[in-house]
Structure 1
Amino acid sequence: MTAQFPFDCSYARLPERFFTRQAPATVAAPRLIAVNHALAARLGITLPDDAAEIAQIFSGNALPHGADPLAQVYAGHQFGGWSPQLGDGRAILLGEVLAPDGARFDIQLKGSGRTPYSRMGDGRAALGPVLREYIISEAMAALGVPTTRALAAVTTGEIVLRERALPGAVFTRVAASHIRIGTFQYFAARRDTEALAALCDYTIARHYPAADGPLGLLDAVIAAQARLIAQWMGLGFIHGVMNTDNMTLSGETIDYGPCAFMDEYHPDTVFSSIDQFGRYAYANQPQIAVWNLAQLATALLPLIPDREAGIDSFTAAINGFSDRFDAAWDGVLRAKLGLATQAEGDGVLARDLLAIMAANSADFTNTFRALSGPDPRSARDQLIDPTALDPWLARWHERLATEPRAAVDRIAAMQGANPARIPRNHRVEEAIAAAISDDFAAFERLMAALAMPYDEDPALAAYAQPPSEGERVTATFCGT
């Protein structure tokens, strides 16, 4: 069977200064680790039956018909510091496919060799970061969070040098697009208003066709990001590297480098080894989103004829993020507590629970899941001092008594909002360590455990367990 990709490469039809045309570098001996057949079907992609042929495609050795490979250019603020040119330093966009329902998706190879934007990098990816992105992006999709997706992962038969020699790999990422805040910043910094206008029009047409001009685009992105960050927070997710080049205009989560899910809840939690001052800590994510969106507003400002009026309008839009996030976050918390209606004091009730959890080193995921069960008092077992939860439980039960839903319906709804399993850091590291030794069984078991994260399954109970003291992961690392 011949591979068929329904390519329609619209980004490649933008002006040449948006990218550099370049084919992916070939690799020595590609071998298929995983391929997401369900996602391929969703995209309208037909793949060969032979794993070796699939590996040739997703390593970059065999370009599918209709591909128009290129590396995108962009800029960005990284940990607050300005980088005037970044770009795809180890990624090649093969092109876009039009799915059977008409939706458009990018197909990108990561780890596919040097590009003009590689700076001092080798353009390659090690196996560990490839598997981390595969695991977490697919887990996020299963959890219902807007995210880029994993289509395939292959080993290359080559070694990459990081702190030590590691197996090389290539990851195939699917995204609604790879347009970032940094893409707009790149052209704004060069005062290339023509390119900026073209990018704005293209992004509106692709993602927000109802948006009216730059202000409408900004408003739509603000709304999408407010919802997204609230969903992250509701799962205890910490992105770890919320640079402006890692925030998409589409509102998808992108770039799973030093990301992690919290075990014990604390708002100041940081995992990223490169975040020395906690800029991207769990609780800081909403305010960092505001900072990033302000950079987008600044980049869009040259498109507004009346600069002063534009500043006023854009400032009002950015200031509106807080209300939008608060509304989204309150909605997430109500769902996690089984509250179908709104009442005064709900926010205080939810935040008091979080404060109790933080003071008692409660596991974030397991505490909320226990509250979702037939015996909510079992959530006490997650706290250092179980009695600390008792007054709060009494208040919660009083609030539940005002709800119109039957208990069985509330429990079902809560279990649909509070996962039984997340990609625990120690499990991800366990799978990566085994894979580096050419054993992918732990990776496959973990992927299976995370496929239906809201379903109760006693056979998968081990994947809901927090790490033992010796299994704790205290730092995660950037994939480059």
Structure 2
Amino acid sequence: MTQPPVFDTSYARLPDRFFARQDPVPVRAPALIALNRDLAVRLGLDPDWLAGPDGVAMLAGNTMPASATPLAMAYAGHQFGGWSHSLGDGRAILLGEVVTPDGARFDLQLKGAGQTPFSRRGDGRAWLGPVLREYLVSEAFAALDIPTTRALAAVSTGEVVVREASGRPGAILTRVASSHIRVGTFQYFAARDDVPALETLCKHLIDRHYPQSETPLDLLRAVVARQADLIAQWMAVGFIHGVMNTDNMALSGETIDFGPCAFMDVYHPNTVFSSIDQYGRYAYANQPQIAAWNLAQFASCLLPLMGPEGPAIEAATEAVHGFAPQFQAAWLRRFGAKIGLARADEDDRALIEDLLSRMATERADFTRTFRGLVTGRARNEFIDPAAFDGWEARWQARLAAEAAPQAVMARANPVRIPRNHRIEAAIVAAVEDDFAPFHRLGAALARPFDPAPEFSDLEAAPRPEERVERTFCGT
């Protein structure tokens, strides 16, 4: 007999001011688009129940298991540097938390589940495009072994969502996260001088994610370390988040909120895709500095919990300043691997940066160039191949000291990424009720390092007429 999920929601046991209890708004005709059966098993859920009528009804928000405690979380945040005193889950509802067979705890959240008290005049819905984009990109991140929220399921709603004066098919994503606690969650209570709430939230975060941390300062240092490694991993695959607001930084260290995100085709450090990032605040090269800025906002929230003001500010400042060297070390380690170095040192940084500089000048494709180091075809990505040749001799001399550079590079450089034009093509087809491109792309992205010939067409960079240069958040 198939079984529904059993939820045990620790967040719902926090004080009422942490959230608003809110049931999802039912939809007209839910239908399953995709179910991540492997993830369901990992979570200890029954994939057959989820794929059945009762499961689809839950994934659409039409019915809830008895153990569910649906709620919308409260948070604030800086959005593109501007302060918003009250944000919260405006179109997302936390169904509850599940505890896996090995004791790990995960949130299950419906995105696009209808209006909440935090919707701010929004309709609380999602249309099909952003749901499929997040499903593909978050699962691609998981396959790349980059900390991320996951996609458990996508369902269509049988309803129309109005965006930019046009009707589009509605959909709901079931997102899985080790938690949805953000920098903005702390900011919400700090802005209200609610020290008891900050103490409660700090303890909750430590218990859930950082049990080795004994003090708020320990917690800050641990969060800084995770974020430094995470951003280095983004940079190493050419990923641009696009909306690094403080309410979009998960304190678990997972990537969250794949809105106007994109992977670079042609490399340039100033690349921006997000249609709402008009001044390039969240450009590719700016992501480390923005992460440090966000962490400084988190640190300021913890100050009331850290003792006397002067020593607390000094200690918190030192912890946040630790981001830069930790990020640089992680960046060097990951980019060193991309050029075949098992252990890159500071003397190798100039070699890596020289390659990136030449790539930018010659409009080389980021993913294809680094994978080309494995296959011997990297120079083909340069307008003038001589620009690569001028770097290659020094690179080969450095590789002479390495035991197995090919193996190191093959593990560090994916064959395929979720390219913007492929995602857009899958969305366009899905709007016409053809989900085959979506499922095929998902299958290919689940094996990012496998040069599978059946997916070779998905490795290609976009032709000029295929380029996608602007991405949208979907709200």
What TM-score do you get using the length of structure 2 for normalisation? 0.98
**Following superposition of structure 1 onto structure 2, how do residues 266-305 of structure 1 map, counting pairs within 5 Å?**
266-305=268-307
**Following superposition of structure 1 onto structure 2, how do residues 238-253 of structure 1 map, counting pairs within 5 Å?**
238-253=240-255
Whether 1:73 aligns to 2:68 is no
The CA distance in 2 between the partners of 1:342 and 1:459, in whole Å, is 34
Q: Which residue of 2 aligns with 1:417?
A: 412
Greater CA drift, 389-398 or 236-245: 389-398
The question of whether the paired residues in 2 share the 8 Å contact of 1:71 and 1:92 is answered with yes
The CA distance in 1 between the partners of 2:184 and 2:318, in whole Å, is 22
Q: Which residue of 1 aligns with 2:133?
A: 132
Q: Which residue of 2 aligns with 1:452?
A: 447
Q: Which residue of 2 aligns with 1:355?
A: 357
- Deviation, 1:53, is 3.3
Q: Which residue of 1 aligns with 2:35?
A: 35
**Following superposition of structure 1 onto structure 2, how do residues 132-211 of structure 1 map, counting pairs within 5 Å?**
132-163=133-164, 164-211=166-213
**Following superposition of structure 1 onto structure 2, how do residues 335-414 of structure 1 map, counting pairs within 5 Å?**
335-373=337-375, 376=376, 378-403=377-402, 405=403, 409-414=404-409
Q: Give deviations 1:152-176, integer Å, cap 9, x for gaps.
A: 0000001111111001111000000
Q: Give deviations 1:339-374, integer Å, cap 9, x for gaps.
A: 11334520000000000000000000000001012x
The question of whether the paired residues in 2 share the 8 Å contact of 1:32 and 1:54 is answered with no
The CA distance in 1 between the partners of 2:427 and 2:343, in whole Å, is 43
Q: Which residue of 2 aligns with 1:54?
A: 55
The CA distance in 2 between the partners of 1:93 and 1:99, in whole Å, is 17
Whether 1:478 aligns to 2:473 is yes
What TM-score do you get using the length of structure 1 for normalisation? 0.97
- Deviation, 1:6, is 3.5
The CA distance in 2 between the partners of 1:158 and 1:83, in whole Å, is 31
The CA distance in 2 between the partners of 1:276 and 1:443, in whole Å, is 30
Greater CA drift, 40-49 or 251-260: 40-49
The CA distance in 2 between the partners of 1:393 and 1:83, in whole Å, is 49
Q: Which runs of 5+ in 1 are unaligned?
A: none
One-letter identity of the residue aligned with 1:305: G
Aligned with 2:130: secondary structure? helix
Aligned with 2:412: secondary structure? coil
Please, which of 419, 426, 435 is the counterpart of residue 431 of structure 1? 426
The CA distance in 1 between the partners of 2:360 and 2:344, in whole Å, is 25
One-letter identity of the residue aligned with 1:62: T
One-letter identity of the residue aligned with 2:401: T
Q: Give deviations 1:142-200, integer Å, cap 9, x for gaps.
A: 01110000000000001111111001111000000000000000000000000000000
The question of whether the paired residues in 2 share the 8 Å contact of 1:266 and 1:361 is answered with yes
Greater CA drift, 1-10 or 461-470: 1-10
The CA distance in 1 between the partners of 2:384 and 2:414, in whole Å, is 24
The CA distance in 2 between the partners of 1:454 and 1:412, in whole Å, is 11
The question of whether the paired residues in 2 share the 8 Å contact of 1:29 and 1:158 is answered with yes
The CA distance in 2 between the partners of 1:248 and 1:410, in whole Å, is 34
The question of whether the paired residues in 1 share the 8 Å contact of 2:6 and 2:68 is answered with no
Greater CA drift, 49-58 or 131-140: 49-58
Q: Which residue of 1 aligns with 2:107?
A: 106
The question of whether the paired residues in 1 share the 8 Å contact of 2:182 and 2:246 is answered with yes
The question of whether the paired residues in 1 share the 8 Å contact of 2:223 and 2:251 is answered with yes
